[in-house]
Amino acid sequence: MELKSGYKKTEVGIIPESWSVKELGDFAPFITSGSRGWANYYSEFGAIFLRITNLSRGWLYPQLDDLRFVSLPKDDSEGARTQLKDGDLLISITADIGVVGYVDAKVPKPAYINQHIALVRLDPSAVNSLYTSYFLASANGQALFRALTDSGAKAGMNLSTVRKILAVFPPSLDEQMAIAEALSNVDALIESLRQLLNKKRQIKQGTMQGLLTGQRRLPGFSEEWKVRRLGAICHMKSGVGITRANINEYSLFPCFGGNGLRGFTNSFTHEGTYALIGRQGALCGNVQIAEGRFFASEHAIVVSAEKEVDINWISRVLIRMNLNQYAESSAQPGLSVSKILKLECEVPPYAEQIAIACALSAMDNELATLESKLQKARNLKQGMMQELLTGRIRLV
């Protein structure tokens, strides 16, 4: 393929002629990793101690929801050597090699790393560390780590190898900073959407708990609820056997099994709106709604509602009941329909059931909208990384 004018082919792909491929060691960085003796300093409180589990692919910033802490003696040499600063670049060097992290002000200080993470501290007057982090976390950067792994570094990377890691650099700090800022802005959007989504999920969980137990009543409803067995308000029956040969990706009717949608098939067993419960497997007890024409396999329990019982309401009740806890232990965990039907729940009047289901459905729709926005933001970031970190789009 003919190269576009002004671009060149390099070991890390096609980049602008003015850009360069350099090793991290070319910038004379400070590189270190934690020692193996940190277990002696573990404590319930103290300074943050980052592990590989705090780094993740697809997100540059350390996850701070599963932390360990250390309490170091004063003037400890290990602490002085491995204490993190804003702008530090982190790279996992054992097991899952090449997971990249970036330390910013959101990481409380002091903070330290264990022996499975390399710390790379670059000179900010020579190179932008946030830009470098984004490149190493990109598809091209990760391909370089995979090449190291494929060449026999499965046990881990030493610090000398970290110095030899290649990255692509625009010629000026201004351009590096502009790229880093653009990607950072998208990350800020993603983080705000994630936080909003988590908040809405928590609100929905609390609302669901209140509405399905009667602890919270919707306006206009005050009639007493009745305790009924599931067998008195719905029917349950296992689906029909089907072989893998009759399931594909192009037939007309969805086919549901014990863990949800298995594929599609050319016939259907049910038509209408039903709740489906996974009957067998590790995920047995999962509940979902199926509408229209569909095939329910023998590994799914099909739930139909009695008169004056709303199927959407009862599906919510079944989800809240956590049916997996009633699975019978065996090589293949499974649910007994007869035992499930003996379980009891509180049943509101029919009109209130519908109102509850509608309220929760509206919350589901709001969550789905937010999830769609979040996925679009993530897709936007991936596209921007591909364009900006290869110089296809220039910001300076």
Radius of gyration of the chain (CA): 28
Counting other chains too, the contacts that 330-339 makes at CB distance below 8 Å and 24 or more residues apart are 332/280, 332/281, 333/280, 333/281, 333/282, 333/284, 334/279, 334/280, 334/281, 334/284, 335/277, 335/278, 335/279, 335/280, 335/284, 335/285, 335/301, 337/236, 337/237, 337/238, 337/279, 337/301
pLDDT tens-digit profile of 288-308? 999 999 999 999 999 999 999
User: Which pLDDT score is estimated for 75?
Assistant: 73
CATH 3.90.220.20 fits 228-347, yes or no: yes
Strands 226-229, 13-16: pairing is unpaired
pLDDT tens-digit profile of 99-110? 999 999 999 999
State which fold the 171-225+350-396 domain adopts. Answer: Helix Hairpins (1.10.287)
pLDDT tens-digit profile of 351-390? 999 999 999 999 999 999 999 999 999 999 999 999 999 9
pLDDT tens-digit profile of 167-195? 999 999 999 999 999 999 999 999 999 99
Say yes or no: do domains 7-169 and 171-225+350-396 share a fold.
no
pLDDT tens-digit profile of 60-69? 999 998 888 9
The CATH homologous superfamily for domain 7-169 is DNA methylase specificity domains (3.90.220.20)
Q: Please, which residues have CB within 8 angstroms of residue 317's CB and are 6 or more apart in sequence?
A: 212, 345
For the chain, give every domain's residue range.
7-169, 171-225+350-396, 228-347
Residues of the chain with pLDDT under 70: 1, 149-155, 330
User: Which pLDDT score is estimated for 137?
Assistant: 96
Contact 199, 309 (CB under 8 A): no
Instruction: Round to whole Å and give the CA distance between 352 and 217.
Output: 9
Instruction: Round to whole Å and give the CA distance between 209 and 249.
Output: 37
Report the predicted TM-score, pTM, of the whole model to 2 decimal places. Answer: 0.84
